[in-house]
Structure 1
Amino acid sequence: MATITLEKTRLDDSFAAMATVQRRIKRTSYVCFIVTLLVITLIVFGHNYGLLGIPSPVSIVVGVFSVGGMALLWRDIDWRVKGQNRSVGSLLTQYVAMKVVGWLGKRQRERLEADTCDIRKAQEETLLKRLRKNANTYYGRLYEFSAIKDSVAFCQHHPLTEYEHYRDLVKRVAAGAEGVLIAGRPLILAMTSGTSGASSMLLSTKDTNTEFFLQGVAVCLDAMRKAFPASESLQRTTKFFYTPTLRQSEAGIPIGPNSSTPASSRHMLTLYTTPAPAFQVSSEPDALYLHLLFALKDCSVGTLESNFAASVFYAFCFMQERWQELVEDVELGRVSPRLAIEDGVRRGLDRLLTQDPERAARLKAEFQQGFEGIALRLWPQLNLVLAVDSGSNHIYGELLRQHYCRGVPFYSPFYAATEGLIGVNLWPEKDQRQYLLCPRSMFCEFLPEASLDEKQPQTLLMDQVQKGLSYELVVTNASGLFRYRIGDVVKVVGFHNQCPVVEFQYRRGQMLNVRGEKVSEAMFLAALMRAVRQWPGAELVDYCCAESGILGESSGGSDPHYQVFLELQGVRNLTEEQRYKLDHCLQEDSAVYKSFRHKGSIGPMRVQLVGGGAFQELRGHMLAFSQASPNTFKMHRVLHRKEYANFLRGKIIS
C-alpha cells in the first residue's frame, strides 16, 4: 500500500497510545489529595485572619469545589491505571492527552459524518481551498487556478499527472525557490519508499500534518476507544520506531522519510516504554534490541504499535533469536555490552535500568515454554496491536495473529501515503481492512481499472463510483500535487452515507506482466494462499516474484515465466506436483494467464524455496541500497532489480 506513512509517527506530537500503572498512582493520589487539603486549609485560614484579599466565604466555596474536583479527577484516573512505577507527571500527561484527543476525535467524527452526507460539497470545498491557497504560486499562475470555480473546470483544464511532471519543480524548491508549487516552505522533502520503482521526492507541509492528525489520528482513536474500551486504560505503549537519517537540500530543507521521531516530543515520551536516549541509536538492530529490553521490563504494556505489521513481526523474530541475552540484561539491570552504542547513550540507558531477577525469572519461564501466544504471556494486560496489516502486510498480520500475538486484537487504522491521508478504518472489529475515504484530506478522482493504460482517461468523482468496481486513485493534496496518479488501485466495497469505502488491491507498478497478462499482487497472493493450503504442514512466511526477463539466461527456461521465491515454515521441500499446484491455482483465477499458458506463450512458473530468514536478509539488503526507512519499508512483491533476485537465488534450499 502506498507508504502508509501514515505516517503514524506524527501522532507523537499530540497523543500517545495508552500506558500506565496502579500502585504508584494510588499512593500518589492520596498524597496529592492530602496536600490539596492542606493548601486549601491554609487558604481558608488565611482569609479568616485577613492575610489574603478574597472574602472568607468565597475561599471556602472555592476550597470545597477544589477538593471535590481533585477527588473526582483521581477517581477517574485510578480505574484506568494498571501496573507500577509510573510518575504522577507521566500519568497526568497521558490522561490529559487522552482526554484532549478524545474530545477532538468526537468532534472530528461528527464533522466527518456530516461531510459523508453531502460528499460533492465537501470535495468541492476541499479542492477550491487547495487552489485558492496556491493560486499565486508559479504553478498556480501557470494553470490559472484563480479562474477555476468548480471541479468540472479543474478536470477540464488540468491534465492528469505523474511524478515526472513535478520532478524539476521539486528540484527548484529543494534549491531554495519559494512559491513554486506551494505558498510557503515545506517542512520536509519527503522520500517515498520506492516499492514500485525509484524513490520520489515530494513536499510535506504543515497542512498535510494537521490533516493527518485531525482527520486521521483523532478519528481513529475515537473508533478505537469505542471498539476496544480497554485501550483507555493508562498503560504504556511499545512503539517500534527507528530514527531516520536525514540529509539537507541546498536550501537546508530536511530530506528523508516523512516521519518524525517520538524523541522530538519529549513531553510525550513517558507514554512509551522506550526512553529518550534509545531514540538516538541509529542502528536498526540495536534500536530494536532496546525497544524490546525496556518493553520486557514493563509487565503492564498495553499496546504494541508500529507503522506496519511487518515491523512487529520482525521484532518478535528478533526476540525469539536473542531472548536469552534480553533476559540477562533485565536480570542484571544493564544494556548488553554487545550493542555498539555511544558511551553517553549507554550511560543514560543504564541509569534507567535496575536489577530485576524476579521479572527475569518469569520471562525466562515463559520463553522456555515456546513462542506460541508469547505476547499475552509476557504482557498479560496487552490490549491491542496497532499497525497496518493490509496490502503487502497481510501476510505478517496473519502470522502474528496465528502465533506470537494469538488472542490479541489488531487494528489497522489508516490508509495513507507520503502524499497524505487517504482513508480511515471506522470498523476496527472487522476482519476486512476497509477504509472510508476522507473527503476533506484530498480531492479524489477515480480511474476505472480498464483505462489504466490510457494517458488522459476520463475520471470519476466520489459520488460517481460504483460498488464492486476497482479504480486507480488520483489525488489533489495540500502539498503541491494536482490530479496526481498515486499508483494505488482500490476496490469500492460499499458506501458510508454517500462516501466510498474501499479496500486496497495492488500497486500499479507491482504487477507481473511477461506477455501482457497483468497479474496483480492481490490476484497472485490469493492463488498462492490457496496453493499453500494444499501443501500439508506448510505455512507461508514470505514471498516475492521476478519476471524471467530480468535474470537473462540464468532464469532456467526459454519461454517467459515467473520466478517465485517462497519462505515456508513446516516444510523444506516440495514435490514437482506441489509446485505446479501454484501455477494451476493462478490459471483458475486468471483467464488471460491460463490462455497464455495453454498456448505456450508463457512457460510454467519456477517455484523455489529459500531458507529461513532469507527475506529478513533481503530487507536489510534493500534498505542498505535505498532511501527507504525501516518505518516505511514494504517488501517488494515483484522484483525489478536483478541483484535482488540473485540475492534470493543464493538462498535457495530446494
Structure 2
Amino acid sequence: MPTIDEELDRKSHLYSLIMPVMNQFLPNLQNGKGMYFLFVKSESKTPSGLPARPVLTSYYKSRHFARARAANDPYTNYTSPTETILCNDTHQSMYSQLLCGLVLRHEVLRVGAVFASGFIRAIKFFENNWTSLCKDVRNGTVDHRIVTDPVVRLAVSRVLVGPNPGLADFLERECRRDDTGIIPRVWSNCKYIDVIVTGAMSQYIPAIDHYGGGSLPLVCSMYASSECYFGLNLNPLCNPDEVLYTLVPTMAYFEFLPADHDDDGDCDDDNYGEIKLVDLVDVKLGQEYELVVTTYAGLYRYRVGDVLRVGGFKNKAPQFTFVCRKNVVLSIDSDKTDEVELQTAVTRAAVQHLAPLGASLVEYTSYAETSNVPGHYVLFWEIDNGVMIERSSSTVSESCLAVEEGLNSVYRQGRVWDSSIGPLEIRVVESGTFDAIMDHAVTELGASINQYKTPRCVKRGPIFEMLNSRVVSSHFSPRLPKWAP
C-alpha cells in the first residue's frame, strides 16, 4: 500500500488519542509503563528503490515513533527499549523485551501486543524460557548466547542496572506454579490487556483470559489496517463481543457498500454509481456494510474487505462493530487466506501429488488450530483410492508443503521469518465422511439438500467433532515453504 509522510502524521495523531480515552476509565495511566511486545519484519525494495515493508514496521522505523518516545509520550512509554523492538531477530527481540518487562514489572500498568496471537506467543515464550530469564535477572546480565546483537544487549543492560536475586527468586516461585493468572501474579499493578480480539482474533480470548486469571479486562483500543487507520473504541472496558469503533473522519474519506449488494467482482466508478455508496452520515442502525476508503496516500474508493455493522451512535457519529473479514476462511496471525486462494492451492497440490498415484481429492474443509502455539492450518481431506495413499504417506506430507507454497506471501513469511505460524497439517478422513456431514446438515440443521455446500472452514462444534472422529491419518508439512523478502 502506498504511504506518505502526512499519513504517518495521521497515524501518530490517532495513537495520541488512545491514552486520553483510556484515562477516562482508568486514571493515571501516564504514571506507569506499558509492556507491549512489538516487532519489525523484513523488508525489501521496489524496482525504483522505495522500501516495501509491513505498515507497523514502517511506523516503528519512522521519525514519528522515535519522536514520540523521545518526548515521553505516555502512549509509547514502554518497558522495551527501541533497540529491542527494531531487532530483526524475533527470538532475540522477544527475549530482550520480556527481560526488560520483568525487571520493570512494578511500573507496568498495561500489557499487550498488536494482535492477540502475538501476545499469546510472548507468554508461551516466557513459559518456555523462564529459567534463562530468571538467571539473567539474578545476575544482572544478558546472556550473550541468546542475545547476540551488541546494540540490543547494551540497551537491555541499561534497564537491568545490576543483580536482583530477590526478583529472581520471586519469578522462579511463580513460574513453577500453574500458569493460570500468570499476568496479574507477575505484573501485579497491571490494569488491562491491550490486544485486538475482534474478528479472527476472537479465537484467542479463552487463552488470554486464562493467563489474565479472568480479572483483567481485554481492551481493543483502536481499529486500523494496512490501508488506513480508522478509529477508536470509546468504551474500551466493554466486553470483547460488545466493541464498537467510532471512525475518525479526518483519517480518510469513508464510504459504505451495503453488504447485501450483488458483488460482481471489480468495482469501478460505473459500478459504484449503480450500487450507490452510502456516506458516513447516512448509515442505518443495524445495517451491515463493507468499508470503502479514499485515503490521502492515494487509494481511491478502495474496498478494505471488512464488513461492519452499525451498532449505535456517539452523539450523531455512527459506531461500528466488526462483523468479519470478507471472504477470509483462515487466519492465525496477520495472515488472511480467502476461499479462492485456498481452493487454488488445494487443487494444485492434489493434481501434483495425488493424481500421479491414481488418487483424487473427493472433498475438503479447513480449520484454524490455535490450541497450540504457534497455531497452524488444518485441512481435512477425503481421498478417493486412499489405500494407495496409505502406502505412500510422504505423498500427503508433500501435499501439505505444496498447499503452503500456493498460499500468500504473508502466510509464508509467518512460517519462515518469525515462526508465528506452524506447519500446515492434513488430516485424512474415512471415505463417506463428507456425505455424513451433509446428512447431518440436512437432518439436524434443516439445510436444503439442493442448496447445501460443503463449508470450506469449520469451527469447534458437532461438525468438527465428526471430522476428528473419522481421521485415519495425520500429516504435517515436512519443510518450510519458499519465501523471500
| TM-score bin (small chain) | 0.5 to 0.7
Change (3 A) 1:263 1:444: closer
**Residue identity in the other structure for 1:394:** S
Cα offset for 1:362? 0.4
Which sections of structure 1, spanning at least 5 residues, go unmatched?
Answer: 1-200, 513-520, 526-541, 599-603, 628-654
In the alignment, the residues of structure 1 paired with residue 17 and residue 441 of structure 2 have an alpha-carbon distance, to the nearest angstrom, of 39
**Residue identity in the other structure for 2:4:** S
Q: How does 1:278-317 map to 2 (within 5 A)?
A: 278-300=84-106, 301-317=108-124
In the alignment, the residues of structure 1 paired with residue 111 and residue 174 of structure 2 have an alpha-carbon distance, to the nearest angstrom, of 19
In the alignment, the residues of structure 1 paired with residue 438 and residue 165 of structure 2 have an alpha-carbon distance, to the nearest angstrom, of 54
Change (3 A) 1:452 1:396: farther
In the alignment, the residues of structure 2 paired with residue 422 and residue 272 of structure 1 have an alpha-carbon distance, to the nearest angstrom, of 24
Q: Does 1:413 align with 2:208?
A: no
Change (3 A) 1:285 1:493: same
In the alignment, the residues of structure 2 paired with residue 263 and residue 247 of structure 1 have an alpha-carbon distance, to the nearest angstrom, of 22
Report Cα offsets for 1:400-425 as digits up to 9, x if no partner: 12334531122211111222222211
In the alignment, the residues of structure 1 paired with residue 15 and residue 193 of structure 2 have an alpha-carbon distance, to the nearest angstrom, of 16
Q: How does 1:94-133 map to 2 (within 5 A)?
A: none
Answer whether contact 1:543 1:566 (CA < 8 A) is retained.
no
Match of 2:17 among 194, 207, 219: 219
In the alignment, the residues of structure 2 paired with residue 359 and residue 292 of structure 1 have an alpha-carbon distance, to the nearest angstrom, of 14
Match of 1:549 among 338, 347, 372: 347
Matched position secondary structure for 1:408? coil
Matched position secondary structure for 2:95? helix
Answer whether contact 1:563 1:607 (CA < 8 A) is retained.
no
Matched position secondary structure for 2:313? strand
Q: Does 1:472 align with 2:290?
A: yes
**Residue identity in the other structure for 2:261:** S
In the alignment, the residues of structure 2 paired with residue 221 and residue 209 of structure 1 have an alpha-carbon distance, to the nearest angstrom, of 18
**Residue identity in the other structure for 1:298:** L
Match of 2:252 among 420, 430, 442: 442
Report Cα offsets for 1:345-396 as digits up to 9, x if no partner: 4345335431111000001111111210001110111112222221121122
In the alignment, the residues of structure 1 paired with residue 137 and residue 246 of structure 2 have an alpha-carbon distance, to the nearest angstrom, of 43
Change (3 A) 1:375 1:204: same
Report what 2:230 is aligned to.
422
Aligned residues: 381
Deviates more, 1:547-556 or 1:266-275: 547-556
Report what 1:84 is aligned to.
none
Q: Does 1:397 align with 2:200?
A: no
Answer whether contact 2:257 2:290 (CA < 8 A) is retained.
yes
Q: Does 1:339 align with 2:146?
A: yes
Q: Does 1:566 align with 2:369?
A: yes
Answer whether contact 1:564 1:608 (CA < 8 A) is retained.
no
In the alignment, the residues of structure 1 paired with residue 2 and residue 212 of structure 2 have an alpha-carbon distance, to the nearest angstrom, of 37
Report what 2:5 is aligned to.
205
Answer whether contact 2:220 2:243 (CA < 8 A) is retained.
yes
Match of 1:376 among 161, 172, 184: 184
Report what 1:388 is aligned to.
196
Answer whether contact 1:384 1:408 (CA < 8 A) is retained.
yes
**Residue identity in the other structure for 1:595:** Q
Q: Please tell me the root mean square deviation across aligned C-alpha atoms, in Å.
A: 4.0
Cα offset for 1:426? 0.7
Task: Name the % identity.
Answer: 23
Instruction: Give me the TM-score of the superposition, normalised by structure 2.
Output: 0.67
Matched position secondary structure for 2:257? strand
Matched position secondary structure for 1:450? coil
Cα offset for 1:292? 0.4
Answer whether contact 1:491 1:502 (CA < 8 A) is retained.
yes
Matched position secondary structure for 2:328? coil
Deviates more, 1:549-558 or 1:418-427: 549-558
Change (3 A) 1:342 1:212: closer
Report what 2:319 is aligned to.
501
**Residue identity in the other structure for 1:549:** T
Which sections of structure 2, spanning at least 5 residues, go unmatched?
Answer: 373-426, 455-462
Matched position secondary structure for 1:427? coil
Matched position secondary structure for 1:394? helix
Matched position secondary structure for 2:367? strand
Answer whether contact 1:310 1:397 (CA < 8 A) is retained.
no
Match of 2:136 among 326, 329, 337: 329
Change (3 A) 1:305 1:568: closer
Cα offset for 1:480? 1.0
Report what 1:634 is aligned to.
none
In the alignment, the residues of structure 1 paired with residue 446 and residue 123 of structure 2 have an alpha-carbon distance, to the nearest angstrom, of 36
Q: Does 1:596 align with 2:452?
A: yes
In the alignment, the residues of structure 2 paired with residue 425 and residue 417 of structure 1 have an alpha-carbon distance, to the nearest angstrom, of 15
Change (3 A) 1:479 1:226: same
In the alignment, the residues of structure 1 paired with residue 296 and residue 156 of structure 2 have an alpha-carbon distance, to the nearest angstrom, of 40
Report what 2:40 is aligned to.
243
Cα offset for 1:594? 8.5
Answer whether contact 1:549 1:560 (CA < 8 A) is retained.
no
**Residue identity in the other structure for 1:223:** V
Q: Does 1:267 align with 2:81?
A: no
In the alignment, the residues of structure 2 paired with residue 484 and residue 398 of structure 1 have an alpha-carbon distance, to the nearest angstrom, of 34
Per residue, is there more helix in 1 or in 2?
Answer: 1
In the alignment, the residues of structure 1 paired with residue 297 and residue 3 of structure 2 have an alpha-carbon distance, to the nearest angstrom, of 6
Report Cα offsets for 1:179-207 as digits up to 9, x if no partner: xxxxxxxxxxxxxxxxxxxxxx322331x
In the alignment, the residues of structure 1 paired with residue 147 and residue 23 of structure 2 have an alpha-carbon distance, to the nearest angstrom, of 40
Matched position secondary structure for 1:424? strand
Cα offset for 1:460? 1.6
Cα offset for 1:326? 0.8
Change (3 A) 1:203 1:344: closer
Match of 2:304 among 462, 486, 501: 486
In the alignment, the residues of structure 2 paired with residue 585 and residue 437 of structure 1 have an alpha-carbon distance, to the nearest angstrom, of 42
Report Cα offsets for 1:502-533 as digits up to 9, x if no partner: 12222224149xxxxxxxx9xxx9xxxxxxxx
Q: How does 1:614-653 map to 2 (within 5 A)?
A: 625=483
Change (3 A) 1:496 1:564: same
Deviates more, 1:460-469 or 1:372-381: 460-469
Matched position secondary structure for 1:500? strand
Change (3 A) 1:481 1:608: same
Cα offset for 1:209? 2.5
In the alignment, the residues of structure 2 paired with residue 567 and residue 584 of structure 1 have an alpha-carbon distance, to the nearest angstrom, of 28
When Rg is computed on C-alpha atoms for both structures, the one with the higher figure is 1
Instruction: Give me the TM-score of the superposition, normalised by structure 1.
Output: 0.51
Change (3 A) 1:356 1:268: farther
Report what 2:409 is aligned to.
none
Matched position secondary structure for 1:321? helix
Cα offset for 1:312? 1.1
Answer whether contact 1:435 1:502 (CA < 8 A) is retained.
yes
Change (3 A) 1:379 1:386: same
Matched position secondary structure for 2:452? helix
Match of 2:263 among 448, 453, 456: 453
Change (3 A) 1:447 1:352: closer
**Residue identity in the other structure for 2:122:** A
Change (3 A) 1:356 1:227: same
Matched position secondary structure for 1:303? strand
Matched position secondary structure for 2:171? helix
Cα offset for 1:246? 4.0
In the alignment, the residues of structure 1 paired with residue 280 and residue 159 of structure 2 have an alpha-carbon distance, to the nearest angstrom, of 52
Answer whether contact 2:96 2:156 (CA < 8 A) is retained.
no
Answer whether contact 2:438 2:452 (CA < 8 A) is retained.
no
**Residue identity in the other structure for 1:326:** L
Answer whether contact 1:309 1:387 (CA < 8 A) is retained.
yes
Change (3 A) 1:451 1:585: farther
Cα offset for 1:344? 4.9
